[in-house]
Amino acid sequence: MGEIDPQFSTSSTGEGASYDLVVVGSGIIGLGAAYAAVRSGLSVCVIEQGTRPTGSSIRNFGHLCIGAQTGEARELAEAGRETWLRLSRDADFWLRESGTLIAARHNDELALIEAAAQTGGIEIFDTDDFAALAPVNRHVVVGGARIAGDLQANPRTAAEKIVAHLVSLGVTFISRTTATAVESGVVHTTRGSVRGGRVILAVNHDIDRLLPAIAEEARVQRCVLDMVRVQMPLSAPLDAPLLTGWSLLRYGRFESLAEVVPVRERLHAARPDLAAIDLNQMYTQLPDGSMIVGDTHHRDPSPLPFQAEDSQQALIDEALELFGVPSLRVIERWQGVYASGAGEFLDREVLPGVRAIAATTGIGMTCGFGLAQRAVAALFGADAPVSAAALAAAPNNFTHTELSKETTP
C-alpha cells in the first residue's frame, strides 16, 4: 500500500471532538451512510482499517443493476439511484446512464426475458438490432434486450472521489485504525475509543471478525470471485454492462420466474464445468476501453487465496466466443470478496443505537446507498435528524472522542 492519501487520513480527532454518527468501514456502504448523515446536518466520523477503500467496492463491475432486482432489493436500488447520480456530479466521478444489455444465445433465454419484460422497463431486440447495440458475434446470439434505467460507475475511482467529497463536507476520516469492539455510543479501536451518538458498522464480510455471533446468526460467509481485466479488439465500444443467460439465473427479476427452469437445466447440462464455478458471465467496459470480465463464485468462511487458472481460462474462452474476437490480452487478475448470507441484506440494530449493515449477496453497489440511507433514517428518524446538541443532552450518549496521539499518522 502506498503513502497515506492526505484526503484519507485523520483530520480532526483531538480531545473534545464529538460525532453524531461513527461509521466503521469506508466501502461504498459506509460512505453512503456518512453521506446520508452529513447531508442531514449530522457530524460524522468514518473509521477505516486501511488508508483507502480497497474492499469489494473497488473490485466489482460498477454495474448498478436496478431493473433486474425485485422486492426489497429493488426498493433499495431505486432509493440509491438518485444518490449515485447526484454524487457523480458533486464528487466528480465517471458514471453513465447506460441501461443494461442482455445477450440471449438461446430461445429459452429470450422467452425468459420476454416473461420478465411483461412488468415493463425491458426492451427486446432481434438478432440484427441487438448486434447493432452490442459488439457481440451476431452468429452466437438469437436476440437480446436492454433494461432501462440502470447505471454504470467506474468502481476504481468512485469510492476515492466520494471520500474526497465527504472530506469537503466536513466528514472526519480516521485511517489505519481497526475497530475491535463496539458498545452503544463507543467504538473501541486499535488507537483508542471513538465516541458518538450512533454507530453504523459497514464492514462487509469482516462482520464475522467484529461481531461473530451476529455473523453466524445471519449465516455470513465469504464469497470469493475470480475477475480479470482485458484489452480486446471489439468491433465497437460496449456502451452498457452486458449480461448473458448465466446472469439470468441469479438476478431476482429473472430467477424468480418459471421460465428460468429450462434455461438453468440446459446451461447446467451443456456446461457442467461452468456451472461448477458458478459462472456469472458478464462484462463492463471502463472509460479507458479495457473490459472487466467475470466472474466465478466460491463460498467459504475462510476461503483460500489460490485462484485456479482453469477458471480464469474459462472466463477468457467465453469472452472470446461471445465477442467473436481471435485473442485478447489480460491486463490484470484479482480476487474479489463479498459477504454472502442467508438473505440479501444484513440490517440489524445489534445494540441500542448501533446498526450493522451489509449486502449479503453481490448487489451492494446497486443497493448499498439505499441500505445506508435506510439505516441512517432508522437510527436518527427519517424526517428529524438528531443534532449534536440534542444527542449531547440525551442520556447514554458519549460526546467526546478520546483517541491516542498516534491517530494522526
Least distance in Å: CB of 53 to ligand FAD?
Answer: 5
Question: Which grid coordinates belong to 193?
Answer: 475509543
Site for ligand FAD in 194-223 (CB under 6 A): 202-204, 206, 210
230 is a site residue for ligand FAD (CB under 6 A) = no
Tell me: does residue 346 bind ligand FAD (CB under 6 A): no
Rounded Cα distance, 283 and 319, in Å: 9
Nearest approach, Cβ of residue 361 and ligand FAD (Å):
8
59 near ligand FAD, judged by CB under 6 A: yes
Instruction: Please name the amino acid found at residue 229.
Output: R
The strand pairing partners of 20, in sequence order, are none
String marking each residue 268-307 x if it binds ligand FAD according to CB under 6 A: --------------------------xx------------
Nearer to ligand FAD, 121 or 303 (CB): 303
d(CA 36, CA 305): 35
Considering only residues 307, 366, 397, 399, which one is a binding residue for ligand FAD as defined by CB under 6 A? 366
What 8-state DSSP symbol labels residue 387? P
Edge-first strand order for the sheet with 63-64 is: 63-64, 151-153, 95-96
Stretch that binds ligand FAD, among 21-29, 83-91, 257-265, 401-409 (CB under 6 A): 21-29
User: Which H or E run contains 193?
Assistant: strand 192-201
Helix (H, G, I), strand (E, B) or coil at 373: helix
Closest CB to ligand FAD among residues 131, 358: 358
Residue keyed to cell 447493432 = 132
**Half-sphere exposure for 328 (CA within 13 Å, toward CB):** 28
Q: H or E element: which one contains 223? A: strand 221-231
Sole window of 53-61, 262-270, 299-307, 378-386 interacting with ligand FAD (rule: CB under 6 A): 53-61
Q: Is 370 in the site for ligand FAD (CB under 6 A)?
A: no
| Size of the residue set binding ligand FAD (CB under 6 A) | 43
CB of 186 to ligand FAD, least distance (A): 14
The set of residues, in sequence order, having a beta carbon less than 8 Å from that of 350 and lying 6+ positions away, is 182, 201, 211, 214, 356
Residues 66-125 that bind ligand FAD (CB under 6 A): none
Cell of 364: 451492494
Nearest to 178 by CA among 409, 356, 405, 24: 24
- Site track for ligand FAD across 174-193, x = CB under 6 A: ----xx--------------
The footprint of ligand FAD (CB under 6 A) covers: 24-30, 47-50, 53, 55-57, 59-63, 65, 178-179, 202-204, 206, 210, 225, 227, 294-295, 336-338, 358-359, 362-366, 368
